Chains A and B, each alone.
Chain A
């Protein structure tokens, strides 16, 4: 059974870079037909798609975040990562990683999510 798990610091200072890793277990990140994505949810608010990556390294980003976001993949570790630079309090959110099918692009499964707070 495929499982995803986010990891990384829960507290980041304003203007610094948020870095998270998603570890995939129970399956290979190089399986064709799937993208690997990041979604976030500010406390008490709705969901926002950040971007995704194919195992080959091809990426797609939310234009509103594109100048600050980098998603990368490490196939040797079966992991993919998110970096978000120049963070502000508005970036405080639960960050989820998820697998996305390459046709309908639905996300399943999801990681449990990790809360990242931006504060000095």
Chain B
């Protein structure tokens, strides 16, 4: 199985801050990496697919980068509605696996 790790597991930030979350795969996953945002009591929402492609309707302050084993999600200027938990997920192998999540709060 491909293991996914995320760092940090949680972070505190303020509105307007630049936030970076890292995701690492235990082996290469090329660009088969997706980022989701989840708010309490809600289903995850697709933000970024193919490591760096912004899903339609997602604000441009979100961006993704990386390939192979190391990936990054960046929020350029944190907004109040961005406080949530963020998950990465690989789909390179037939067993899709998620990272443990990064909680972004105030």
Partners in one complex: yes
Report A's interface with B, CB cutoff 8 A.
Answer: 46-49, 60, 62-63, 96, 98, 100-101, 104-113
B43 touches A46 (CB 8 A): no
B46 touches A107 (CB 8 A): yes
B43 touches A104 (CB 8 A): no
How many B residues touch A, CB cutoff 8 Å? Answer: 23
Given contacts A48-B98, A49-B96, A111-B43, contact A106 B87 (CB under 8 A): no
Q: How far is the CA of A105 from the CA of B101 in the complex (A)?
A: 19
Q: How far is the CA of A106 from the CA of B50 in the complex (A)?
A: 8
Q: How far is the CA of A114 from the CA of B89 in the complex (A)?
A: 21
B106 at the interface (CB under 8 A from A): no
Given contacts A107-B44, A108-B55, A111-B43, contact A47 B95 (CB under 8 A): no
Contacts of A49 in B (CB 8 A): 89, 95-98
A104 touches B94 (CB 8 A): no
Partner of B96, one of A96, A101, A105, A111: A105
CB distance from B105 to the nearest CB of A (A): 15
